[in-house]
Amino acid sequence: MQTLLKLLSDGRFHSGEELGALLGVSRSAVWKRLEGFERDYGVVIQRVRGRGYRLEDPLSVIAPRLNSGPWPLDVLSSVDSTNAEVLRRLAAGAVAPFSVLAERQTAGRGRRGRQWESPFGANLYYTLGISVGAGAKELEGLSLVVGLCVARAIRSLGVVDVGLKWPNDVLVGGKKIAGILLELTGDPADICSVAIGIGINVNMRKADAIDQPWTSVREALGVAVDRNVLLAALESELAQGLSRHREEGFTASLDEWESLHLWQGRRVTLSTSIHNIVGRALGVDERGALRLLVDGQEQRHSGGELSLRLSDDS
């Protein structure tokens, strides 16, 4: 199936005879494979008599690495969730660091139990599994550091107006372009493993299930982009950013994070599982906790299922 996808990824028409000859199968076998591809992966294939087949939207296929990369990468056609897959592999004894990327997720997960929209071949659905040996200290501010790495990777493609929303969203023009989901296994106070899930909207053009303003790299630049280029930039930034965080802690990234914090000084509402807290965002502390000015007093919040939004009067 990957070979057929690669042949069609250029967006041009290819006849059944041409595809059959390249794949070593009959025209009818090509037709059946394409029918199954549409059914199983949700992509749209155009069929024009006398011209052949082509993808309605050209795809940038994730290619095998030409070099070793910072850690092993496994590219899957489809998986329920890259985070779930990494956690399964960690539980089975896989040695970290390693990463999993999927062309599609059937049950992609966001924070607070939300579904992550995951159409085939349109975006990056990526999870890195790492081991943490320094206990809670190494976990402090980790999601914020990953957010910085994602923001840098997106900016490297020429996207401007990239900003961060505490604790783990990346926005462009005020619209969400990427999200981060960290899941732990083991003892957070001692030795544990972390699945660092990253979803970036790359070439996606429609998503009916998303209930908030969103954008993509394609929309920001006005052209479709090669996901391989973004993937390489992302892994490079993660390798450097995580190494620095491991050696120096979050304080080394605090100033840069705050420089990209879109709601710095704004009036915000922090929602917890119990109540809402309204205050002014002062930034973050050396542990990555949100600093809020509430009724003249500074409060600090981190951990748990927290959600931050601008207040209506901001």
Q: What is the pLDDT of residue 65?
A: 67
CATH code matching the domain that covers 73-259, chosen among 3.40.50.20, 3.30.930.10, 3.40.50.1220, 3.40.50.2000? 3.30.930.10
Which token pair is 36?
Answer: 């199954």
- 176 is an annotated ligand-binding site residue: yes
| pLDDT, mean over the chain | 88
Which token pair is 66?
Answer: 């030409």
Distance of CA 257 to CAs 24, 154, 173, 223, 280, Å? 53, 15, 17, 28, 17
Q: What is the pLDDT of residue 58?
A: 72
Which token pair is 194?
Answer: 């972390």
Local confidence band at 119 (pLDDT 50, 70, 90 cut-offs): confident
Rounded mean pLDDT, 207-221: 84
- 201 is an annotated ligand-binding site residue: no
Q: What is the pLDDT of residue 116?
A: 66
- 51 is an annotated ligand-binding site residue: no
Phi, psi dihedrals of residue 26, rounded to the nearest 5°: -80, 165
- 240 is an annotated ligand-binding site residue: no
Q: What is the pLDDT of residue 111?
A: 58
- Lowest-confidence segment of 141-150, 228-237, 301-310 by average pLDDT: 301-310
User: What pLDDT, in 10s, does the model give residues 153-202?
Assistant: 999 999 999 999 999 899 999 899 999 999 999 888 778 999 999 999 99
- Tell me the fold of 2-55: Arc Repressor Mutant, subunit A (1.10.10)
Q: What is the pLDDT of residue 67?
A: 64
Q: What is the pLDDT of residue 154?
A: 98
- Contacts of residue 297, defined as CB under 8 A and 6 or more positions apart, other chains included, come to none
pTM: 0.88
Local confidence band at 114 (pLDDT 50, 70, 90 cut-offs): low
- 109 is an annotated ligand-binding site residue: yes
Q: What is the pLDDT of residue 209?
A: 64
Is the pLDDT confidence value at 120 over 90?
A: no
Residues taking part in catalysis: 111, 176, 309
Could you give the angle at which helices 227-248 and 142-155 cross, rounded to 10 degrees? 140
Query: Quick check: 8 and 47 in contact, CB under 8 A?
Result: no
Phi, psi dihedrals of residue 308, rounded to the nearest 5°: -120, 135
Nearest CA to 172 out of 234, 226, 214, 117 is that of 214
Q: What is the pLDDT of residue 314?
A: 46
Rounded mean pLDDT, 288-307: 90
Query: Quick check: 283 and 308 in contact, CB under 8 A?
Result: no
Is the pLDDT confidence value at 304 over 60?
A: yes
Is the pLDDT confidence value at 113 over 70?
A: no
Q: What is the pLDDT of residue 279?
A: 95
Is the pLDDT confidence value at 222 over 90?
A: yes
- 111 is an annotated ligand-binding site residue: yes
- Judge residue 185's burial from the number of C-beta atoms within 10 Å of its C-beta, 0-12 exposed, 13-18 middle, 19 or more buried: middle
Whole-number percent of the chain with pLDDT over 90 = 56
Whole-number percent of the chain with pLDDT over 70 = 93
User: What pLDDT, in 10s, does the model give residues 8-64?
Assistant: 777 788 888 888 888 888 888 888 888 887 777 777 888 888 888 888 777 778 877
User: What pLDDT, in 10s, does the model give residues 135-155?
Assistant: 678 899 999 999 999 999 999
- Tell me the fold of 263-310: SH3 type barrels. (2.30.30)
- What are the boundaries of each domain within the chain? 2-55, 73-259, 263-310
User: What pLDDT, in 10s, does the model give residues 77-90?
Assistant: 889 999 999 999 99
